[in-house]
Structure 1
Amino acid sequence: MNFIKKLIHIINRSILNKLIISFIFIILLPIAIISILSYSKLVDNIKENYYKDQNQILSTIDTSLQMYLDDFNRLTYNAYLAKDSIQLILNSDNDNITTRVSNINLFNAFASNLVGLRDDVEGVYLYTMDGYLFDHSRYDGMKQVFDKAYDITAESWMKYMIDSKEESFIIGSHQQGYKLEPQFPFVITIARKITSYETGEIAGIFFIDINLKMIENLLAGEEGNDIFILDEFNHIVFTHKDGNIGKRFSQLYPNVPIDSIEEKKADIIEDNNNFVISKYNDYLKWKYVKLIPKDELIQKTNQVALPLIWTSIICFIAFLVVSIFVSGNITKPIKLLKDTMLKVQELDFNQKVDINNEDEIGSLAKNFNIMIEKIQELISKVYETQLKKKDSEFKALQAQINPHFLYNTLESINCLALISGAEDVSEMIQGLGRMFRYSIKQEKDLVTLEDEINHVKDYILLQAIRYEDKFDIEYIIGENLFRAKVIKFILQPIVENAIYHGIEGFEDKGLIIIEAKVVDKDLLIRVLNNGHKLSCDKLQDLQYQLNSNIQDLSRYDRKGKSIGIHNIHLRLQLQYGEKYGLSINNHKEMTEVNILLPLNLEEDNHV
């Protein structure tokens, strides 16, 4: 959530960011969506075609293998029909050695005519229910069964055929126990129960063993890799993977849901590492399973899809570069206009916007330049008017008061006081004279902090005599700050407020502290008194008034509230800006008035 808020904040910071995001959503986002959908569709088509191809391969293998096994199944049926050979052998007394030898020759002749010289046939066999096994095999290594030392019925596949009610069988890959060191250890057995024509009962089982050469040829090539042929018990009939024929498929791939294949729930399933394509043969009850490693399929899809991805990325980058370039050209004059406005905001009215566009931005810049010119004219007129007004006011003041007359009168009173021995009166008159001379000096409004402090000292001199040592005053001012330039009459009214509203009527002895120090390259003057503290309502009211705009401050000052406070704050803000002025707080057990103004030290050495 914080990330989204930060992103929205970054977007809202500039028109350039908004334009770029707009281009992305209007142009680039559709390209990205189309590319993603096209890629997804392409991958799906590749997978679908690949699945179809693999399924077709499995269907071809299934058809070929069934035709191949059907040929052998027909051969076993021919044995069932052979009255002059197979029926004769089954109905003979094979316990008689002479008869048995004759039957062996008869069986070899029949088997030789039946299968010929096929190299995929390992042997042709006839098992009689009285326990004898007749064989015709090109392989010499056979266990002796005539003496019944070897019990073929102990073989699981033979036991299955004997116990089954079915007549014909195709037994998947297995090893024959009656062979000694065979060249092909695994064979497929095609078998049929033979019913005696004489008794109508099962007299024997005729079966043919074939090796896996044909299936190996059928699955030759790259497409045959990772194909498994499973029998109805899910034993592996054939695979190119060495050492796995005859094993249960679940031993090798326990995560593949082989039951879904058997129950025809799905033609395409998957485990953690492979896609599995399968086909089920109802007649044989065999399954054909093709394992496709997911990495292999991803590689095949990437070979086709990567050009599309790279094309989309290149288009995306190209459109992004174009959108940034176009957005930059649109916002560059706007940024220039904004920077110029910021300089004008800092009262630099000598700025002009150099934009020659013929569009709306160019028109806006032209009108802005006209506005600046008019502001400059108005400022000049207002400044000239103010100068004339001040000059007229000063002349009117001079016309009303004759300073020399006042000086001479005060000096005469001072002489009379000295003659009369009233030294305290003389001292007060001298202090009042200095204050009067300070107030009517025909100088600029800026004076040194030392002048202001001396003016306060003269005022304190008069008040100390009046209040008979009711309060003390302390000055905490660094020597280098005495020559700092300040506005005239900013300290005495605040000290006067401290005496009248704080010290007067205070039971304990009062203390006034005047402190000056540098704070962040500004001059901070603090006036504290330990007299009556301001009530919360009065303090909040004063703070609200001091935080008002200049027009409201002028109204408060005309009402005469809080002697001089509003006037001083208004003069400071008019002179230096709204950052500066007065602030009032209750500081611990004292009332604190802070005066903040720029630090301006005199260049000469006057103190």
Structure 2
Amino acid sequence: MKKRKNRWLSFNNYGIQKIIMLSFTFISIICLSIVGITFYLRYVTNIKSVISKNNDLLLEQVHININSYLDNMIDISKAIYDEIYIKNSLDNVNIDNEIQILHKVNNKKVVNIGLFSKYGEAVSLSDNISLKENIDVRDNEWFIDAIKNKDKFNFSVPHIQQCFEYKNNEHIWVISISKYVQIKKNGKMIDGVILVDINFNDIEKIMSKANLGEKGYVYLANNKGDIVYHPRQQLIYYNLIEENNKKNSLLEKGVYVEDYENYERIVNVKPLDAINWTMIGITPVINMKKEYINIGIFILSILLFAISLILILNMILSYKITMPIKELEKAVKNFENGNLDFKVNIEGFLEVTYLGEVINAMLDSIKNLIESVNREHYQKRKSELDALQAQINPHFLYNTLDSIVAMIENEKYKASIDMTISLAKLFRISLSKGENIIPIKDELEHIKNYLKIQSIRYKNKFSYKINCDEEIINCATIKLTIQPLVENAIYHGVSFLDEDGMIEINVYKNEENVNIDIIDNGLGMSKECCENMLKGKVEPKGGGSGIGIKNVNDRIKLYFGDNYGIEIFSEYDVGTTVRIVIPITQIK
């Protein structure tokens, strides 16, 4: 079955150009997505239009009701106005009678009625109220509007009337309707103001019937942009929420879309016929979320079904296309990680098969080249190490032998014997059976013999001390790394002192490393000189083994890596510390 399947899906005889043609799957998905999104956006646009029309019809009914109510209130105000205008010759008692009658007939809608002179005097009041003491009605907005706009009825925003004392002690929200009028008092015509306070609750009941969805609402605003009615009026008064009433009250009749506080809203605007008020319906677009979600789910289901069919075919085809490429990727990663012991087995279309063959040939060439380079590098490194370790200065051997001869001639037999034994041990450890890596204890034994010889030669001009932690005494180090540094400490440090020269060697563990400090109390040197010595720009002169500090540093780095080597710390008239840092390594 597997062979048949592979044969059915075989791409061995096809080029990559035909495989690329199969990318129609991606183009198909893009096309389907565009069609789906276009259909969805078209639906969203249509549903916005439908909701706007439905809201307009609903607002029209509320518009009719509120207009009818306000017309009725204007008729009541006109009736009082007409009575006063026609019966100017009547005395105040007759005017009182007319006001009381009109109030009683309309007491369910009208809270109170009042007639005032331009001086703020109460000419006549309905019998349910009395004017408060120390109140000047001329300071009220309804009074000022009536005197200012003499030819029309003026409507205030909702408020609690503070000018009167009510006999039932009830203070309710009212809308004040005021109108300029001329009244006859004491035989003279004077300016006055009619006041009719209507119950705001009636307007609230009419407006509350407007239902524009879960979060939609309708509010009223006057021509100044002040809110007359709002379902969240208290929250607006206390500045807990805001409304775009100032801007929307200036709009002409129609349907608008606005972006307010990062929310898109549909705004239906209908000015009232009776007065300069505007009815504004607000429908947040988020109200349509359920409709959007339903149609979105439907469109998405169709798209997912179509895309699933395309993806099944695409997965089968892409598997055959990508598998050979993934094999090549694995081969490149193996090569990147330094693994060259593998062969690329590629079965696929022609181009990938050819690339696999090229990679295999390249791997063979690289392996051969690396082997050749490694052989050359090994021989070169071995030659360098051998040459460095062979640089024992013959002057040291000559001077040591000359010192031994002089001691024998002076019959200092014991000293000459000690010096000869130290020299023999020195060379025995130097040879170390041809091993380049020796234990730290052997290297210290070697330097102990060396210091003993030099101390005799320099006639005890300096003393020395060697300290080593027992736990690292058997760890590995490179042969002949300490001696060249001690030589430099002698020839260029303590040899210039008249007496009390001191060389101290401390070997200790520092975390995962071994530190070997060679300390002398010689003349010291500058920081620049220390850096130049490590770079090989300054080599010791006038003595020493000839194995410079740079060479020792290079040997350490060559064997242990660039993280290890030599550090130099020095100060004039204090001395110098040369520190060898090597890893803790056990002798194999």
TM-score normalized with structure 2 length: 0.53
Question: For residues 469 and 162 of structure 1, do their structure 2 counterparts lie closer, same or farther at Cα, with a shift above 3 Å needed?
Answer: closer
Residue 289 of structure 1, aligned match among 279, 292, 295: 279
Equivalent position to 2:562, from 578, 582, 601: 578
Displacement of 1:465 in angstroms is 1.9
Q: Specify the alignment match of 2:211 in structure 1.
A: 222
* Conserved 8 A contact 1:278-1:287: no
Aligned equivalent of 2:59: 58
User: In the alignment, which of 572, 575, 587 is matched to residue 590 of structure 1?
Assistant: 575
Q: Within 5 A, what are the aligned runs for 1:75-90?
A: none
Within the alignment, does 1:524 sit opposite 2:515 as a pair?
Answer: yes
Q: What RMSD in Å do the two structures reach over aligned CA positions?
A: 7.2
**In the superposition, relative to structure 1, how do residues 387 and 138 fare at CA in structure 2: closer, same or farther (>3 Å)?**
closer
Q: Equivalent residue of 1:222, what SS? A: coil
CA contact (8 A) 1:229 1:287 kept: yes
The alpha-carbon deviation at position 592 of structure 1 amounts to 1.6
For residue 41 of structure 1, report the CA deviation from its aligned partner: 10
SS of the residue 1:483 aligns to = coil
Distance of aligned partners of 1:536 and 1:353 in 2 relative to their CA distance in 1, 3 Å threshold: farther
8 Å Cα contact 1:418/1:426 also seen in 2: no
Question: For 1:497, which of 463, 472, 488 is the aligned residue?
Answer: 488
Give distance in 2, aligned partners of 1:34 and 1:534. 82
Structure 1 residue ranges without an equivalent (≥5): 1-27, 78-85, 96-126, 143-150, 194-209, 398-405, 547-552
Distance 1:260 1:591, change over 3 A: closer
Pairwise mapping of residues 96-107 of structure 1 onto structure 2 (< 5 A)? none
Contact 1:255 1:271 in 2 (8 A): no
Distance 2:360 2:46 in 1: 60
Q: Deviations over 1:138-169 (max 9, x none)?
A: 97999xxxxxxxx9953599xx9999976x98
2:476, 2:587 within 8 Å by CA — same for their partners in 1? yes
Deviation at 1:300, TM superposition (A): 0.8
Asked if the contact 1:522–1:597 (Cα under 8 Å) also holds between the matched residues in 2, the reply is: yes
Match of 1:18 in 2: none
Is 1:483 aligned to residue 474 of structure 2?
yes
Structure 2 segments unaligned to the other structure (5+ residues): 1-28, 109-121, 127-136, 182-197, 309-313, 392-396
Identity of aligned residues (%): 20
Work out whether 1:301 is the aligned partner of 2:288: yes
Give, in angstroms, the shift of residue 583 of structure 1: 2.7
For residue 115 of structure 2, what is the aligned residue in structure 1? none
Question: What is the one-letter code of the residue matched to 2:527?
Answer: C
Partners of 2:340 and 2:223 in 1: CA distance: 97
Q: Report Cα offsets for 1:170-223 as digits up to 9, x if no partner.
A: 999999x9xx99xxx99999x9x9xxxxxxxxxxxxxxxx99999978985635
Counterparts of 2:422 and 2:473, CA distance in 1: 21
- CA deviation profile, 1:223-262 (whole Å, cap 9, x unmatched): 599546688999999x8989x9xx9x98999965766676
Alpha-carbon distance in 1 for matches of 2:374, 2:96: 136
SS in 1 for 2:371: helix
Local SS of the residue matching 1:573: helix
**Normalised TM-score (structure 1):** 0.52
Equivalents in 2 of 1:561, 1:34: separation in Å? Answer: 89
Contact 1:58 1:288 survives alignment (8 Å): no
Instruction: Indicate how the Cα distance of structure 1 residues 424 and 303 shifts in structure 2: closer, same or farther if over 3 A, else same.
Output: same
Map of 2:13 onto structure 1: none
Larger Rg: 1
What is the alpha-carbon distance in structure 2 between the residues aligned to residue 253 and residue 582 of structure 1?
Answer: 74
Q: In the alignment, is the contact (CA less than 8 A) between 2:63 and 2:279 conserved in 1?
A: no
Matched, 1:341 2:336: yes
Return the alpha-carbon distance in structure 2 between the equivalents of residues 309 and 495 of structure 1.
Answer: 85
Matched, 1:514 2:515: no
The total of aligned residue pairs comes to 464
**Shift of residue 74, structure 1, vs aligned partner:** 11
After superposing the two structures, state which structure 1 stretch, 591-600 or 261-270, moved more: 261-270
Pick aligned residue for 2:527 from 531, 536, 544: 536
SS of 1:534's equivalent? coil
**Alignment deviations for residues 299-336 of structure 1 (CA, whole Å, 9 cap, x no partner):** 41322444688889999xx9xxx99x99x987896577
Which amino acid letter does the alignment assign opposite residue 279 of structure 2? V
What CA distance in whole angstroms lies between the structure 1 residues aligned with 2:148 and 2:442?
Answer: 130
What secondary structure does 2:567 align onto?
Answer: strand
Structure 2 contact 226–246 (Cα < 8 Å) conserved: no
Please state how far the C-alpha of 1:545 moved relative to its aligned partner: 3.7
Q: In structure 2, what is the equivalent of residue 99 of structure 1?
A: none
Partner of 2:474, secondary structure, is coil
Checking the alignment, whether the CA contact within 8 Å between 1:446 and 1:486 is kept in structure 2 is yes
Indicate the residue corresponding to 1:154 in structure 2.
125
CA separation in 1, counterparts of 2:415 and 2:448? 16
Give the Cα–Cα distance (whole angstroms) in 2 for the partners of residues 577 and 253 of structure 1.
71
Q: Deviations over 1:268-295 (max 9, x none)?
A: 79998997754323x5214243464xxx
Given that residues 570 and 581 in structure 1 are in contact (C-alpha distance below 8 angstroms), is that contact kept between their aligned partners in structure 2?
yes
Q: 2:147, 2:524 → 1: CA distance?
A: 118
Matched to 2:277, the amino acid is K
- Residue of structure 2 in register with 1:119 after alignment: none
| 1:504 match: secondary structure | helix
Counterpart AA for 2:493: G
